[in-house]
């Protein structure tokens, strides 16, 4: 079944590049329509006539609620306004950024409600539903942006804004003579936000919260008809939580950010080839433990038993559980005795990991 979305993309750029999606979580069929609803809001109707998505703006101040227009500006901003006064904006897509921050847009914090506008990654390439990574202003009120995984875990910060640059990302400065951009922080009683613009309107630039967990800055190069990556944070790709998915191994400085652990292959080779590693890896061979409904102690003969592969120099996942085991052999047997146990480590204490393994990184320790 095909999925359809209301989106905005560049009109005169040869590479199809979406910058905003309305119904991220609710795809529709091709029998749907986009129209002004009776209450004056721009709405997406499904084939049965039910509203799937709406601008949901207050139109109480409009003399005739249905007398509104939706206009797509050259900036990429979709605006809803009264037909009699297009400058009286009722709603705009720049206040509802999805995964892309365009010049003139703003990532804001509403001081009156406490609401924070986050820029959330796609769930996967080809799936615009909100993913696990987001860029947003610090909810504490500090003048900095945070990268969060799953809405809670901070894994990178710009550092505070000094008025000229971010302390942790000095390359993002208030102005740059070379590229002609200006970066400004606005702080008033109602809201605080950052916004950026370019002196030359023909400059095509976008910040993207990428599915990789990095926030990236892309500049369009007309001569090569392609996007040029000019900014990416965090620079250490292995700092991104779960960036390689289940049983994926991150290697800093490698030409490819992720590989599968030995005995595993990409869950989706196509996505893997596009640099989307979130789907992780799956086993080449099913474990005997999971094949036998009676569990690990089934007493079957002539069945090869599950074994462990020793891996050196690997950063351990941070969700291990301590188990009572006096020796390395006891620790191994404790893991083998539970079909959900995937790995163990013993260094005087026994730690077990259950189900999928995440955040594996090569080359961290000489021996583990």
pLDDT band at 254 (very low <50, low <70, confident <90, very high): confident
Give the end of a domain, one of 76, 94, 112: 94
Residue 298 has pLDDT above 60, yes or no: no
Give the end of a domain, one of 94, 114, 146: 94
**Could you tell me if residue 186 is inside a domain?**
yes
**Could you tell me if residue 19 is inside a domain?**
yes
Residues 268 and 158 in one domain: no
pLDDT band at 208 (very low <50, low <70, confident <90, very high): very high
What is the number of domains present in the chain? 3
Residues 72 and 122 in one domain: no
Residues 89 and 114 in one domain: no
**Could you tell me if residue 69 is inside a domain?**
yes
Residue 367 has pLDDT above 80, yes or no: no
CATH number at 142 reads 2.90.10.10
**Could you tell me if residue 300 is inside a domain?**
no
Residue 293 has pLDDT above 60, yes or no: no
Residue 146 has pLDDT above 50, yes or no: yes
Q: In this predicted structure, what is the pLDDT of residue 53?
A: 97
Low-confidence winner among 96-105, 316-325, 353-362 (lowest mean pLDDT): 316-325
Q: In this predicted structure, what is the pLDDT of residue 63?
A: 61
Residues 353 and 251 in one domain: yes
108-112, 296-300, 353-357: range with highest mean pLDDT: 353-357
**Could you tell me if residue 65 is inside a domain?**
yes
Residue 299 has pLDDT above 50, yes or no: no
Residue 7 has pLDDT above 90, yes or no: yes
Residue 301 has pLDDT above 50, yes or no: no
Residue 42: closest CA among 100, 96, 81: 81
Q: List pLDDT tens digits, range 170-191.
A: 887 776 555 677 888 898 999 9
**Could you tell me if residue 320 is inside a domain?**
yes
pLDDT band at 250 (very low <50, low <70, confident <90, very high): very high
Q: List pLDDT tens digits, range 51-73.
A: 999 999 988 777 676 689 999 99
Q: In this predicted structure, what is the pLDDT of residue 366?
A: 44
Give the percent of the chain with pLDDT over 70. Answer: 92
Residue 16 has pLDDT above 90, yes or no: yes
Between 319 and 134, whose confidence is greater? 134
Residues 120 and 156 in one domain: yes
d(CA 261, CA 314): 11
Residues 224 and 259 in one domain: no
Residues 225 and 139 in one domain: yes
Give the end of a domain, one of 235, 260, 275: 235
Residues 123 and 222 in one domain: yes
Q: In this predicted structure, what is the pLDDT of residue 43?
A: 95
Q: In this predicted structure, what is the pLDDT of residue 87?
A: 87
Residue 300 has pLDDT above 50, yes or no: no
**Could you tell me if residue 326 is inside a domain?**
yes
Residue 135 has pLDDT above 90, yes or no: yes
pLDDT band at 290 (very low <50, low <70, confident <90, very high): low
**Could you tell me if residue 301 is inside a domain?**
no
200-215 mean pLDDT: 91
Residues 145 and 159 in one domain: yes
Q: Which domain holds residue 312?
A: 242-291+306-367
Instruction: Tell me whether the omega of the peptide bond preceding residue 64 falls within 30 degrees of 0, making it cis.
Output: no
Residues 10 and 70 in one domain: yes
Residues 103 and 230 in one domain: yes
Residues 312 and 218 in one domain: no
CATH number at 61 reads 2.90.10
């Amino acid at each position: 079944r095909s999925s359809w979305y209301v989106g905005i993309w560049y009109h005169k750029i040869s590479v199809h590049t979406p910058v905003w999606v309305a119904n991220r979580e609710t795809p529709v069929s091709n029998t749907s329509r986009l129209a002004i609803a009776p209450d004056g809001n721009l709405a997406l109707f499904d084939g049965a006539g039910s509203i799937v998505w709406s601008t949901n703006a207050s139109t109480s101040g409009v003399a005739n609620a249905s007398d509104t227009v939706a206009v797509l500006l050259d900036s990429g901003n979709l605006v809803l306004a009264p037909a009699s006064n297009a400058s009286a904006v009722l709603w705009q897509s720049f206040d509802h950024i999805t995964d892309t921050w365009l010049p003139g847009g703003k990532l804001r914090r509403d001081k009156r409600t406490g609401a924070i506008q986050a820029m959330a990654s796609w769930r996967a390439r080809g799936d615009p539903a909100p993913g696990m990574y987001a860029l947003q202003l610090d909810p504490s009120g500090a003048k900095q942006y945070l990268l969060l995984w799953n809405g809670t875990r901070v894994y990178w910060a710009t550092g505070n804004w000094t008025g000229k640059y971010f302390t942790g990302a000095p390359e993002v400065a208030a102005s740059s003579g070379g590229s002609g951009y200006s970066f400004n922080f606005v702080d008033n009683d109602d809201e605080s936000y950052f916004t950026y613009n370019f002196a030359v309107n023909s400059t095509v630039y976008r910040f993207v919260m990428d599915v990789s967990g990095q926030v990236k800055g892309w500049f369009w190069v007309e001569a090569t008809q392609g996007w040029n990556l000019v900014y990416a944070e965090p620079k250490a790709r292995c700092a991104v939580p779960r960036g390689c998915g289940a049983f994926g191994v991150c290697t800093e400085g490698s030409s490819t950010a992720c590989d599968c652990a030995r005995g595993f292959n990409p869950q989706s080779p196509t996505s893997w080839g596009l640099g989307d590693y979130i789907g992780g890896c799956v086993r080449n061979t099913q474990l005997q433990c999971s094949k036998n409904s009676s569990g690990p102690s089934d007493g079957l003969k002539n069945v090869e038993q599950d074994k462990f592969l020793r891996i050196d120099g690997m950063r351990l996942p941070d969700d291990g559980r301590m188990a009572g085991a006096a020796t390395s052999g006891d620790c191994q047997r404790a893991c083998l005795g539970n079909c959900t146990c995937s790995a163990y480590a013993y260094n005087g204490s026994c730690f077990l990991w259950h189900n999928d393994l995440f955040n594996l990184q090569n080359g961290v320790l000489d021996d583990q």
